[in-house]
A and B are shown apart, each in its own frame.
Chain A
Amino acid sequence: MIVKLFMLGCNDRKGVFLGFLIATLFFASGIPKLQVDTGVDSLIPANDPARLIYQRVSSEFGTDNKTIIYIKDSQLWTPERLASLETLHRAIEKTEDVTRVDSLYNLHTIEGSDGKINTKPVLASAPQTAEGAERAKRSALSNPLYIGNFFSDDGNVTAMVVSVNDIHDDQNFSKDMTETIESLLARHRDDFEQMVQVGPPRINAELKSSLYEDFILLGPLSALILVLSILFFMRSGLSAMIPLVTSVMTIVWTFGMLGWLGIPINILSAMLPSLIIVIGSTEDTHLMAAFFRGLVCAEKEPRKEAIEYMASHIGLPLVLTVLTTALGFASNLFSDIGLIQHFSIAATFAMIANGVVTILVVPLILSFFGPDQIKKEEENQTTLNLPGKMVKLFCYSKDHFPGAILISTALLCLFFIYQASSLYVTNDPLSYFPDDRPLIQDTRRIHEDLAGIKIFFITLESNSKNTFQYPKNVAKLKEIQGFMEKQGVFDRSISIADHLAFVNREFRGEFAEMSLPETRQLVAQYLMFFHRSDLDSYVSHDFSRANIVVRHNISDSHTLNRYIEELEDAVTHIAGPGLKAHIIGENLMVNSAAENLMVAQVKALAILLALIFIIMSAMFTSLKGGLIALVPAIIPIALMFGIMGLLEIPLNPGTAMVAVIAIGIAVDGTIHLLARYNELCRRTSDYREAVDIAVSEEATPLIVSCLGLSLGFGILLFSNFTVVAQFGALAAATMLFSIFANLLITPIIMSKVRLVGLYQILAMKIDQQVLDNTPLFNDMTNYQRRKAILISELNEFEQGELLVEQDTHGRDMYLILEGQAEVIRRDDGESRTLATLNPGAVFGEIGYIREAERTADVRATTPISALRFDYQKMQNDLKFFPNIVAKLNFNISYILGERLADMVEHSKK
């Protein structure tokens, strides 16, 4: 069926061409509908119960979506600089969609001294004199509520906090808003030493622009590298062009599908074109290698025969590799994190689409443009170039130090697994950017001089009104803030307790340094000095809920989550049974989702390894086969995680997918290698030779594809996103490790274990009647027969060839499957035909049972296919199947008995 599918492109070229044209046009029409999603929403699990709480809290206490304009100048408090700031403040206020600007021009403060209280703005308008500016500075810096939020300790830095409308449905909103504010800042930039903006609109806009840049750069660069590497290794222009054609079609199909289904592209999608080009090309490389091999054997219609050869030899492995690669991506389909899930849908579809396109289009192209004959240098290339040299090195190592290699690999894996124990997770959007990016440096600058730009809320809730007018409850807020201060990781926290303590200090004087009012009445009376809008972020209208606003700059999700967990315990304890406590924030939800990454990673890996094990076990009808296939998968994973631990690369939405994706791809090489080895095992009893041949034949496509994949993944290092670059680097390293695992470790194991593939048994076309009628398998179940067959070897003999030679020693027994043979006894120069053997007949059973000289020749009178049973191997391989051994021994005894009876009969005559 697979061969038929492959041949469709060759046999019905017009139909396949038209079908693809229509499908491609259909998908292409979906591309204009594509949406881009760079919002943090996709980083939060859709079913996170914290979402609802966050929505409620943010609707009550205000959004954490605020842009901070950082302004630094050592001469900030001069009339000129302050006038410039005022102009900027007013200009930003006028900007459309800006809902509020908070700066020293609308902050109010309270000052108390000598029985007087003075409520006043920090600055109503720019001062005309240096004294006025100095007064404003003193006023600003004396209010502890503003230090860290609006002013640095030394007063050289001030911040404007700009709140904007959340317009999610406008694709360009963030970009437009960032540019508008930037154009206003540009007019004043010369007036100050430093002036930058940081906030969700800028982050969002930069994510989007970086995404577009990645799309423009990475895809074409991957294509270029692919073409060059294939030209270098394969020396064939056609081999380089075919992957390009299939990749372009797959890219159109994939992005068209995303457009039609309304699935947005995200920062991980930026690597899709590269992945499609690189991963897709590996299958094409294997196909082209098989096509060239087919050309060597082809006679009448070289192209068609080579395509048939390609289909019959690569067809099933290709389907399996497409399946395993798609499974690698699909293992993330059920991720809670939208970003990963959307990427997983797109990539899984892409891999399947690439398989379909490859199976149907490559034969179509080859039938038109494929060469009719192979050049001599192409035929020999597998042994002449780099892969050949690598194979030689691996073979030498395998033959001379197999034990040492296995032990050192095991030790290496243990070392890297130990290193992997220091892995940590992060999901912070800012960590997606490299450290040297201006946005990150600006964020750090704000954190150093003010408080970090990341915000979360701690809310305490009661069922009763006015709860937070009671000093005891207000004190709880202060206690929680005190605990955070002891933790020492959060930059700043503000609550209504700070407001009350500040007013209390101003009324009572410095001796009451930040102590809280003692009575409910005083709390209520102090609160009259604030306008409700001053308190909106800190206490609900009816004082039943209070909110602590916390600012920080922690990017490491693991660290943040650990401190939040600690804080949750403390908050719950401090709040007591009468109050409900929540620690909530978009930023926290995003970071909390990082823990899911770790769990999802382990789950996805386990699922993928289990699937690979099942598929390979089924393929070889042996659990051993499944286990061997896992070896080249597990070694690169261990090394990759170890490197992450060593180099302190975090587990993030990018790197979390490396293991499953890279293994899904790396196992392709394993499948091709094992399949080839399996095929060879049917023809030879020398497993070592089979291993060597399989490795030398598969090495070129495997090494070429792995190097190509490494280069392709390596291109992702040019991405604007750290997560994508880290993904690329680690996937590239994993690919290189897989060469080592596939061509050195696996062969060492393979040379000690023999595997036979079920599909080959199925492909043997053994006449079931032969198996039913042969006395060797008499009274055996199909499973028992198959097991016995799997341990035998399939040998082919030409007409006239001697299968067994009289007077020689041998312990092989044969079962004829096809063809005919004669048993000839030579005595004193005379030959007598003793018997004619037909399909189902068994011979050589005496030597099998007991080492003795062969009593007659057996010669093929027609071409023969026969199963050869080696005594020693049967004893070894079937020792765990005593029933099968018993049945076989009984049947052999029966055959020998029959033979004896015949002889007695014959002698009587």
Chain B
Amino acid sequence: MTNLKNKLLTLALLLAPVMAVASPALSGIEIMEEIYRRHQQYPYVYEQQSMVMRDRYGKRDTRKAHRYSRVEEDGSAKFMLIFDYPQEIEGVTVLAVRDPSGVMKKSVYLPAFAEQLIENSAEDNFGNFLGTDFTVENIVGEVLSDYRYERRQDRNMNNMPYFVIDVYQAANDEADHPLRRHFVRQDNFFIGQTEHLDNLGRLHKRQTYHDLKAVDGQMWRSGMILMEDVKEQHQSLLKVTRRWFSHDYVPAEMFTADWLYKNHPYIEPRPVEDEINHEEDSDSTTENDEQVSQLSGQGMEQP
């Protein structure tokens, strides 16, 4: 039973869409469970992603990565993101493993540093993930049991009815304001937007989902996720260029240090490096940049 529950809880990355008629009687946690229930269908996912980061001056950085995730029979979940562009960060990996009890362990591998998986015990809820505006939790998903969900007054946005769910730390019953606020589409139980709030309850970051597609039956997927840091005026766009739901792409052995060391070996320092690089890095970001511009602040109607 625990395993089953954990399975339900852990598929944060699979924001499953299901066409369903929303019942006004549903509580916050029930809505969240329903969202997660609709994601259980495909435990093995591989995605090719592009990330575009734009700073307050409009300057952009592009990264490309491979994202692997699988949910095991015992309820544990594994998540891995391997960067392959630009060249200097090729092989940089974030590995997140959640054990059956729900404890998450995050590690980082830097091929230029050493053949060593370094445990990343980040305490920073708002801490950005490897230079992006996402946190690991934004990408991996939240453990429902860690939080308390309060349903608020439903809202209509873009002529679409939404559930509004405030998310609180489960251990903190006296919090004045939520950590974040989910806006869940009532037609498919898909989280269309999440507002991350700061300590004073003010909007800090806005996460919106775009390019929604029904993948299979009730399950929906987003092709693009935009995270806007309202305070710092940054944006990070995560675009899924290809996606596979297949066990073959995410074998269990790849979520290990050995696999990483073998496929992305340690980079030996060269004795002499050019003082100045005269190569002009190719700019393959134009298309993505335009998408950031288009999506920025207009992906969804502001609640």
| Chain A interfacial positions (CB closer than 8 Å to B) | 86, 90, 108, 112, 115-121, 124-125, 462, 464-467, 469-473, 507, 517-533, 536, 541-542, 576, 578-579
Contacts and interface: CB of A to CB of B under 8 A. Distances in A.
15 contacts: A86-B199, A116-B121, A117-B108, A121-B123, A472-B273, A519-B267, A521-B88, A524-B86, A525-B89, A525-B113, A531-B234, A533-B55, A533-B56, A533-B234, A542-B59
A541 B119 contact: no
Given A117-B118, A467-B277, A124 B53 contact: no
A522 B269 CA distance: 9
A90 B277 contact: no
A120 B122 contact: yes
A579 B275 CA distance: 10
B142 interface: no
Contact of A466 (B124, B200, B281): B281
A516 to B, nearest CB: 12
A521 B111 contact: yes
Nearest to B274: A470
A124 B278 contact: no
A124 B199 contact: yes
A523 B122 CA distance: 21
B108 A108 contact: no
B131 interface: yes
Given A472-B275, A519-B267, A532-B53, 5 more contacts: A90-B200, A117-B119, A118-B121, A518-B269, A522-B267
A542 B232 CA distance: 19
Nearest to B267: A521
A525 B281 contact: no
A119 B124 contact: yes
Interface in B87-143: 88-89, 92, 108, 110-113, 116, 118-128, 130-131, 133
Contacts of A533: 55-56, 232, 234
B119 A532 contact: no
Contacts of B234: 531-533
A118 B120 contact: yes
Given A522-B113, A528-B89, A541 B199 contact: no
B86 to A, nearest CB: 7
Given A108-B124, A525-B110, A532 B89 contact: no
Contact of B276 (A124, A471, A473): A473
Nearest to A105: B199
B118 to A, nearest CB: 5
Given A90-B200, A465-B277, A117 B131 contact: no
Contact of B281 (A121, A465, A531): A465
Interface in B43-99: 53, 55-57, 59, 61, 86, 88-89, 92
Nearest to B59: A541
Contacts of A120: 122-124, 127
Contacts of A465: 277, 279-281
A517 B118 CA distance: 17
B118 A116 contact: yes
Contacts of A524: 86, 88-89, 112
Contacts of B262: none
A472 B275 CA distance: 6
Given A119-B127, A120-B123, A473-B276, A532 B61 contact: yes
B273 A507 contact: no
Question: What's the dominant secondary structure at chain A's contact region?
Answer: mixed
A532 B63 CA distance: 14
A467 B112 CA distance: 18
Contact of A532 (B111, B126, B131, B273): B131
A529 B55 contact: no
Contact of A519 (B270, B276, B277): B270
A320 B240 CA distance: 85
Nearest to A469: B88
Contact of A527 (B131, B267, B277): B131
Contact of B123 (A118, A469, A521, A525): A118
Contacts of A469: 88, 277
Contacts of A112: 118
B93 to A, nearest CB: 11
B88 A520 contact: yes
A470 B273 contact: yes
A473 B277 CA distance: 10
A464 B111 contact: no
A389 B270 CA distance: 91
B130 A470 contact: no
Q: Which 4 A-B pairs have the closest CB atoms?
A: A524-B88, A521-B112, A522-B112, A541-B59
Contacts of B112: 517, 519, 521-522, 524-525
Contacts of B123: 118-121, 124
A529 B130 contact: yes
B116 A115 contact: yes
A530 B131 contact: yes
A507 B113 contact: yes
Given A472-B275, A521-B267, A541-B59, A121 B120 contact: no
Contacts of A526: 110
A522 B110 contact: yes
A86 B59 CA distance: 32
Interface in B206-220: none
Contacts of A124: 123-126, 199
Contacts of A115: 116, 118-119
B88 A116 contact: no
Nearest to A507: B113
Contacts of B125: 124
Nearest to A119: B122
A56 to B, nearest CB: 13
A519 B271 CA distance: 9
A183 B167 CA distance: 35
Contacts of B274: 470
Q: Tell me which of A465, A469, A517 has the highest count of chain B C-beta atoms within 10 A of its own C-beta.
A: A465
B88 A121 contact: no
A519 B124 contact: no
A185 to B, nearest CB: 19
Contacts of B267: 519, 521-522
Contacts of B55: 532-533, 536, 541
B288 to A, nearest CB: 16
Contacts of A529: 130-131
B244 to A, nearest CB: 26
B122 to A, nearest CB: 5
B273 A541 contact: no
Contact of B273 (A86, A464, A520): A520
A116 B120 contact: yes
Contacts of B281: 465-466
A471 B55 CA distance: 25
Nearest to B118: A117
Contact of A470 (B110, B122, B276): B276
Nearest to A476: B275
A466 B59 contact: no
Contacts of B200: 90
Q: Tell me which of A115, A467, A532, A579 has the highest count of chain B C-beta atoms within 10 A of its own C-beta.
A: A532
A127 to B, nearest CB: 13
A480 to B, nearest CB: 15
A117 B117 CA distance: 10
A472 to B, nearest CB: 5
B113 to A, nearest CB: 6
A528 B275 contact: no
A518 B113 CA distance: 9
A465 B61 CA distance: 13
A462 B276 contact: yes
Contacts of A579: 276
B276 A467 contact: yes
Nearest to A120: B123
A121 B280 contact: no
A198 B218 CA distance: 60
B104 to A, nearest CB: 14
B292 to A, nearest CB: 14
A462 B61 CA distance: 19
Contacts of A525: 88-89, 92, 110-113
